[in-house]
């Protein structure tokens, strides 16, 4: 990182994150969170940009969840930080006294070219032995307001931090996480919602998502959270979870779903796209074409069955083209579904225009599984 590059602190411990969060709360600063597993692309950056535009402070969590069977998921922290820096004003300086940095041993030096005083007593440090400076409320570290100075954190400086915990931080019981039938400890299972569609194709996936997001929400205590529409079942399931668990950080109404970011050929951006070779990449937009064909029938007042048949036919036609033209790519349909956005129940029979439903699907292109969806009769965020 060059000396003029914006500084993005990386928080690795739960105690450190909670000190930072307490300081933000004391100052009345809203915090948005963008949960990710890293390997960032423009879709992730759009979510972070939205949070930065709406709130003084944003936490992007970067944690590859072992409960989701993702041992081979790419770890690209340094390049992810480089991408995040493009979202911040050039020349942004770190706030002094934060005690959080890009690596555990770094301490931001006091600048010799500025007379600005450091922001004291934010109560976050790289080591667990740190104790915040005494406040006006008293000399006890647990006194009201302890670790929280009187200075205001400018939103133009260090508005973004990354929470990048180790697995032991997120799963302190250190039990079995890959095979959840052998897992000992607490997990969150949104039954009836997490075992259909994506959940049927990827057993235990949503149990892992619900569990890790509950942990991240408890750790960050965000006022708002941001997810992408591409993973629509995941986002809607998390809203259901927030409602059923009476969670306030964030509240269900403050879980925002933002539109899918797409390439020029309408392929939904995904970290998985990097695994597509050129021939497979040329086939991949078939998923959006299939969903679009079903959407065209929706506007005409067709049945759920007819919409699914139209989407399936587009995939069948592409499979025929691949064989006829000897394209070095394999295409396989996983599923298409039209479902109610609130109950996740499949929609069959006549679907009147304006009925709020989700049209979703998944295909395999080679060894890469792609998902996408279109919202019919309603909008997000």
Centroid of chain to Cα 293: 29
**Candidates 7, 44, 55, 288; catalytic one:** 44
Kind plus residue range of the DSSP H or E element containing 332: strand 331-340
44 among known catalytic residues: yes
Q: CA dihedral defined by 33, 36, 38, 39, rounded to 10 degrees?
A: -120
Q: How far apart are the C-alpha atoms of 357 and 319, rounded to whole Å?
A: 28
Structural tokens at position 327: 């394209």
**Beta carbons of 204 and 233 less than 8 angstroms apart:** no
Instruction: Please tell me the chain's helix, strand, coil percentages from 3-state DSSP, rounded to the nearest 5.
Output: 35, 15, 50
- C-alpha span between 205 and 213 (Å, rounded): 12
**What six digits make up the tokens of 315?**
């995939």
| 81/7 Cα distance (integer angstroms) | 9
State residue 113 phi and psi, 5-degree precision.
-110, 5
Catalytic residues: 44
């Amino acid at each position: 990182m060059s000396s003029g590059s914006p500084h993005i602190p990386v928080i690795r411990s739960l105690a450190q994150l909670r000190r930072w969060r307490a300081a933000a709360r004391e100052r009345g600063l809203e915090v948005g969170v963008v949960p990710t597993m890293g390997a960032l692309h423009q879709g992730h950056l759009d979510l972070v940009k939205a949070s930065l535009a709406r709130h003084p402070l944003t936490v992007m969590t970067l944690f590859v969840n072992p409960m989701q069977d993702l041992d081979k998921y790419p770890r690209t922290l340094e390049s992810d930080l480089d991408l995040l820096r493009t979202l911040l004003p050039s020349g942004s300086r770190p706030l002094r006294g934060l005690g959080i940095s890009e690596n555990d041993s770094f301490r931001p030096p006091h600048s010799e070219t500025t007379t600005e005083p450091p922001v004291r007593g934010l109560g976050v440090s790289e080591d667990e032995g740190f104790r915040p400076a005494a406040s006006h409320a008293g000399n006890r570290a647990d006194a009201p307001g302890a670790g929280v100075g009187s200075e205001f954190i400018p939103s133009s400086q260090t508005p973004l931090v990354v929470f990048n915990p180790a697995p032991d931080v997120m799963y302190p019981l250190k039990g079995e996480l890959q095979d959840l039938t052998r897992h000992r400890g607490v997990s969150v299972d949104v039954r009836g919602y997490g075992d259909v569609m994506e959940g049927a194709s990827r057993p235990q996936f949503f149990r892992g998502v619900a569990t890790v997001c509950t942990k991240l929400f408890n750790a960050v205590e965000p006022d708002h959270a941001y997810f992408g529409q591409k993973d629509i079942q995941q986002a809607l399931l998390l809203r259901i979870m927030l409602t059923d668990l009476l969670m306030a950080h964030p509240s269900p109404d403050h879980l925002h779903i933002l539109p899918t970011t797409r390439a020029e050929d309408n392929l939904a951006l995904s970290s998985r796209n990097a695994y597509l070779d050129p021939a497979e990449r040329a086939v991949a937009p078939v998923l959006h074409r299939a969903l679009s064909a079903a959407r065209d029938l929706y506007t005409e007042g067709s049945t759920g069955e007819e919409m699914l048949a139209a989407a399936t036919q587009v995939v069948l036609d592409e499979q025929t083209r691949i064989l006829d033209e000897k394209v070095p790519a394999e295409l396989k349909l996983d599923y298409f579904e039209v479902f109610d956005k609130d109950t996740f129940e499949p929609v069959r029979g006549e679907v009147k225009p304006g009925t709020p439903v989700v049209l979703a699907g998944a295909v395999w292109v080679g060894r890469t599984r792609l998902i996408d969806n279109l919202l019919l009769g309603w909008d997000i965020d």
